[in-house]
Structures are given as structure tokens and as C-alpha cells.
Amino acid sequence: MKIAVGSDHRGFEAKQQIKAIVSELGHECIDFGTNDSNPVDYPDPAYLVAMAVSKKQADRAILTCATGLGMSIAANKIKGIRAALCHDELSAQISRDHNDANVLCISGDQVGEVLLRKIVEVWLDTEFSGGRHERRVRKIKAIEQGKDPTKVKNG
């Protein structure tokens, strides 16, 4: 898989670790910056990374900032993006299995190296299960298109 990665200055060190993990797992890593710990506004890399997924230049993406919140909010503004802020292995697994999340957001300040590795590994290894969750993802897409999700058929 092609995995886009990005961070602001507070997530830079975590992004470096994420790049290594992604490569070790045999995936191609596309780095959209930042390239050092000098201050940068998180919406900038969030936009670039989310657009790469939206335009199918990357299969999935991982973003990191101090809390992961800003990246999640910014990335979710892009059409076709389902960014999930995950703090543990279970939230990472469910974000893929149930929600078909295509962008993982992680706190660079609150998640240590061991947990970071576990979150990334689980998220990259988990596939969307479909089934009853497919209908729910269709409803998310309807909202994105300005439609009423209660009108989406169950079939």
C-alpha cells in the first residue's frame, strides 16, 4: 500500500517513527512534511495528506500533531476522508473494521513509541469488514454530499 504521512512540528518525531514502521511493514511511504521541528500550522500538512488520499495518490494516510485532534478535524473537511483519532489498538482496529477509516490521526505528545507501533501495525493490518457497517459508511458519504442519512436505504 501507499501510505501518505504528515505532521506539524509537535508531531515531527512521531512521524519519523511512523515512517520507519510503515517501511518495515513493506509499505511505500510518501512524506508530505513537515521536515523538522520548526513551527508549522497543522491544517497545511493535513490538507496535503488528505488530498493525496482523496485523489487516490495514496491508499491511506497517517497524520500526527500534539494531540491528533487538529489533524483529525482538518483532514475530515476533505471529501472522501474518514479520519479517526486513535489512542490505542482497539480504537485503531475498530476505525478500520467498522468505519473504513482511511486516515489515522495520532497524538505525538501522548502516545509512546511502543503503543505508537502497535496502533500503526493494527491499523494497517485491519481491513474493512463491510456487512452492516457498509450501510453506515454509505450514510457518512451521504452526509458529505449534503444528503439526509436517514433516507439511505438499508440494502
Active site residue 105: no
User: What is the grid cell recorded at 35?
Assistant: 521536515
d(C-alpha 100, C-alpha 75), whole Å:
15
Question: Which residue among 29, 65, 86, 105 is the active-site one?
Answer: 65
Question: Which residue among 27, 87, 98, 133 is the active-site one?
Answer: 98
The Cα-based distances of 98 to 65, 93, 109 in angstroms read 24, 8, 27
Active site residue 65: yes
Burial of 98 (0-12, 13-18, 19+ CB in 10 A): middle
* Residue whose C-alpha is closest to residue 107's, from 94, 93, 96, 91: 91
Which residues does the annotation mark as catalytic?
65, 98
